[in-house]
Amino acid sequence: SAVISQKPSRDICQRGTSLTIQCQVDSQVTMMFWYRQQPGQSLTLIATANQGSEATYESGFVIDKFPISRPNLTFSTLTVSNMSPEDSSIYLCSVGQPGGTIYFGEGSWLTVV
Amino acid sequence: GIQVEQSPPDLILQEGANSTLRCNFSDSVNNLQWFHQNPWGQLINLFYIPSGTKQNGRLSATTVATERYSLLYISSSQTTDSGVYFCAGAMTTDSWGKLQFGAGTQVVVTP
Which pLDDT band, with edges at 50, 70 and 90, does A7 fall under? very high
DSSP string, chain B: ---EEEE-SEEEEETT--EEEEEEESS-EEEEEEEEE-TT--EEEEEE-SSEEEEETTEEEEEEGGGTEEEEEE-S--GGG-EEEEEEEEETTS-TT-EEE---EEEEEE-
Amino acid identity of B102? Answer: G
Q: Which residues of B touch A43 (CB under 8 A)?
A: 43, 86, 88, 99, 101
Q: Which residues of A touch B50 (CB under 8 A)?
A: 99
Q: Which residues of B touch A103 (CB under 8 A)?
A: 45
- Tell me the pLDDT of chain B (111 aa) as tens digits: 889 999 999 999 999 999 999 999 999 988 999 999 998 889 999 999 999 999 999 999 999 999 999 999 999 999 999 999 999 999 888 888 899 999 999 999 999
Burial of B4 by CB count in 10 Å (0-12 exposed, 13-18 middle, 19+ buried)? buried
Give the separation between CA A83 and CA A112, rounded to whole angstroms.
7
pLDDT in tens, B2-26: 899 999 999 999 999 999 999 999 9
Q: What are phi and psi of B80, to 5 degrees?
A: -70, -10
Q: What pLDDT does A1 receive?
A: 83
Q: What pLDDT does B15 receive?
A: 98
Best of B32, B45, B86, B87 to substitute, by most chain A Cβ atoms within 10 angstroms, is: B45
First-last CA distance in chain B: 40
